[in-house]
Amino acid sequence: MRRLRNVKIVATLGPASNDYDTIRALFEAGADVFRLNMSHGDHSEIRARHEMIRKIEAEKRRPIAILADLQGPKLRVGVFANGEEELVEGQTFRLDLDEAEGDSTRVRLPHPEIFAALEAGSRLLVNDGKIRLKVIECSREHAECEVVVGGTISNRKGVNVPDVVLPLAALSEKDRKDLEFVCELGVDWLALSFVQRPDDVWEARDLANGRAAILSKIEKPAAVNAFDEILSVSDGIMVARGDLGVELPVQNVPPIQKRLIRKCRAAAKPVIVATQMLESMIDSPMPTRAEVSDVAAAIYEGTDAVMLSAESAAGSYPIEAVTTMDNVAREVESDPTFREVMDASRGGRKDTVADAIVSAAREIAETTNIKAICCFSQSGTTALLVARERPHVPIIAMTHLTSTARRLCLSWGMHCVITGELERFKMAVVNAARAARREGFAGERDQIVVTAGVPFNMPGTTNILRVAPCEERLIFNTDPE
């Protein structure tokens, strides 16, 4: 099954997409990666979804990536005696550690670590920013606040603290249990919530111990400020615009999105743009024009993937939402302006042999009649470097490791093929030609570019490039090996 686009689609599974037929239909409609949200569903439900995805993978004979999204620590107020209260602009309201039920003047905030970090002038955002508080004075046990924006506050509403770096680990006890469960299950990517600093990523990486790649969610101002350091220790990034738009002024989010995408591309690491991309399709079979423009803008910016959350997990039209994303992506990528933008934004340091090889492969493919770039990669690094180039021709990533093929399904332009272990470059060329013909990228009279590292099966050894015919007779007649 060949996608007629390069950007990838991530679909979240949930109550609306919880059976085999629906998940298969989502894959056929265009989903390349399935997200398992660990905030919803117990381990038995997550296991069942995982098994259905792997069954579809075997049936379709195409690698499918599975992304487990860890919940992260949840900061919430306590409960109110009346269930809810109305806060009025200008009044004072107290947050404290007292276990008594709340009223119109105070409520419990059972997170002493927040009080330890607060200072006068800090902002507290309640219920996705609908209520805004400013700290007047505080101690390690309370915060006296002025209500800046009032509204109804009710039981266990979430709290955001945008102005300070909280002394909280990104992984709660629940997250650690979930991480071990999904790693043993065999997911390909771990999305890490509440990242504030590089150390948060290292903790998850140590626990995963190579069993899954680590994707850091950028959803806090602290993460934006420390982004370069977080990117350097992450395998991928998610621009999580939901919380980011709560903790920052909404007009700040689009330029941040553009900047983070460019940095990820320069580093040759995949990036997902997420949250509210087709929000109206939760209840409507058609998106708004603004939503279509939002998806298109992310694709023009060069993102590796766009993500559906509630649209595919809990909405009434999950398959239609994936189909819409697929249609938008195909239309954008057929626009000549898209190619101009991709070519103009090509960058990143290129100071290794592998950089030179993949850059040459892209230039050769664009100046001659080459049908595809076939790259052999054990760790996936070479394939990611090819994707960074955003070539005009398809990328066929070939590896003997199923785990590598699945992880690469998240990256721009990757058509992943699992091949046997190889010892000679000639057989790599033969396998590449067979894959290009079998997958519909080239005919026998066409040519492809093949990149690989010799000796084989050693990460980081990309050192050879060949323009090869797709007809095996010509390969054997012209190759001296």
Which is the catalytic residue, given 275, 303, 324, 404? 275
Computed from CA positions of residues 24, 25, 28, 30, in that sequence, does the dihedral angle turn out positive or negative? Answer: negative
Is residue 447 within 8 A of residue 454, CB to CB? The reply is no
User: DSSP of 328-365, one letter per residue?
Assistant: HHHHHHTSHHHHHHHHHT------SHHHHHHHHHHHHH
Residue 265 among the catalytic residues: no
**Exposed e or buried b for every residue in 300-329, given b needs 16+ CB within 10 A?**
bbbbbbbbbbbbbbebebbbbbbbbbbebb
Of 438, 409, 405, nearest to 419 (Cα)? 405
Residue 76 among the catalytic residues: yes
Of 456, 455, 474, 454, nearest to 464 (Cα)? 454
Phi and psi (nearest 5°) for 123? -100, 145
Which is the catalytic residue, given 5, 35, 62, 362? 35
In this structure, the number of other CB atoms found within 10 A of the CB of residue 132 comes to 20
In this structure, the number of other CB atoms found within 10 A of the CB of residue 24 comes to 17
- Measured between alpha carbons, how far is 113 from 154 in angstroms, rounded to an integer? 22
Q: State how beta strands 271-274 and 236-240 pair.
A: parallel
| Residue 154 bridge partners (DSSP) | 84
Q: How many CA atoms lie within 13 A of 455 on its CB side?
A: 3
Q: Which parts of 291-431 are beta strand (E)?
A: 305-308, 370-376, 395-399, 414-418
H or E segment to which residue 431 belongs: helix 425-438
Which is the catalytic residue, given 217, 258, 269, 390? 217
Residue 35 among the catalytic residues: yes
Helix, strand, or coil here: 38? coil
Q: Exposed, middle or buried, 173 (CB in 10 Å: 0-12/13-18/19+)? A: exposed
Which is the catalytic residue, given 47, 54, 74, 76? 76
* Chain position carrying tokens 């409520």: 107
In this structure, the number of other CB atoms found within 10 A of the CB of residue 150 comes to 17
- Measured between alpha carbons, how far is 374 from 414 in angstroms, rounded to an integer? 10
Write the single-letter amino acid at 153.
Answer: I
Is residue 415 within 8 A of residue 397, CB to CB? The reply is yes
Helix, strand, or coil here: 271? strand
- Measured between alpha carbons, how far is 265 from 224 in angstroms, rounded to an integer? 16
Residue 399 among the catalytic residues: no
Show which residues are catalytic.
35, 76, 217, 275
